Amino acid sequence: MRKNIVAGNWKMNKNLQEGLDLVKDLQTALFSKKVKCDVVVCTPFIHLGAVNGMIDKTKVKLGAQNCADKVSGAYTGEISAEMVASTGAKYVILGHSERRAYYGETNDMLKEKVQLALANNLTPIFCIGEVLGEREAGQQNTVVKKQIEEGLFALSAEDFGKIVLAYEPVWAIGTGKTATSDQAQEMHAFIRQTVAAKYGQAVADATSILYGGSCNAANAKELFANPDVDGGLIGGASLKVDTFMPIVEAF
C-alpha cells in the first residue's frame, strides 16, 4: 500500500567523478539482486544532471538535498525546485536537521519549499526530529508534531499524499547512536496518528515514514521490521556500496 524506500543522503561528500563512480557501482550491485524497496540517491546539486543521464530509473531514483524557497530571481547561489526538476531528479530532501541548524531554515521557509517542490512534481522527503535536550525533557512528540503542522499541514490531502516523511532524531544523526527499534516504532506510530487526525487514516496509511540516524547494516533489519517504519534515510552508510547495499537488502 505504501512504498518502502531506502534513500541515501550524500551530504557534501564526493566530487563529480567520485559520485558517478559510486552510482555506477551501486547500480551494478542492484542489478544482481532482487530488491524489495525503492532506492533513491540524493546527491549534491552539481551531480544531478550527470547522474540522471546514467541511471536506470527502474533501479535508482534521483533526488536533491535541498531547494530554494523562492521561485526564481536575484538569489545568488540558490537552486530552485524548477532547476532541480529540470535535471531529471524526482525527490528532494527538505528540512534536514543540518539545514535547520546551520542555515537557519524555519518551518515557514520549509512550507514554501514544500509547495514549490510539489509544484515542480518533486517528491519532498520532509525531515523532522528532536534534539537530544528535547528527548531528555520528554518533548519529542510535541516538537515533531509542531514541525509537521507548521511545515506541512497547509497542504491539501491530495498534496500531502505526495510527501515522504523522514523521522531523524537529531541526536542519532552521524553519532553512531541509533534510536532503539522501540523508540523508532513509537515515534513513527505517533507521526502516523498525527497525520491520520488531520487527513484521515487512508492518507496516513499511504504515507511512507523513513527512519534516519546512524542506520547501518547491523540495525536496519530490526528497524525496518517495525510496522510503521517504511525504510531509511541514510547518511554516512550511503557513501559506499558495501555499507549501503546491506541496508537496501534489509527489506
The site for ligand PEP (CB under 6 A) is made up of 9, 168, 173-174, 212-215, 233-237
Among residues 199 and 249, whose Cβ is nearest to ligand PEP?
Answer: 249
Cell matching residue 175: 553519532
* Closer residue to ligand PEP (CB): 44 or 212: 212
Q: Contacts by 17-26 with C-beta closer than 8 Å and gap 24+?
A: 19/43, 19/44, 19/47, 19/50, 19/51, 20/47, 20/50, 20/51, 20/54, 22/239, 22/240, 22/241, 23/51, 23/54, 23/55, 23/60, 24/54, 25/241, 26/60, 26/241, 26/244, 26/245
Reported as half-sphere exposure (CB side, CA atoms, 13 A), residue 249 has a value of 15
Residue nearest to ligand PEP (CB): 235
Question: Which of 199/239 has CB closer to ligand PEP?
Answer: 239
CB of 216 to ligand PEP, least distance (A): 8
Instruction: Give min distance, CB of 42 to ligand PEP, in A.
Output: 9
Residue 103 identity (one-letter amino acid): Y
Smallest separation (angstroms) from ligand PEP to the CB of 158 = 27
Residues taking part in catalysis: 96, 168
- Minimal distance, residue 101 CB to ligand PEP, in Å: 12
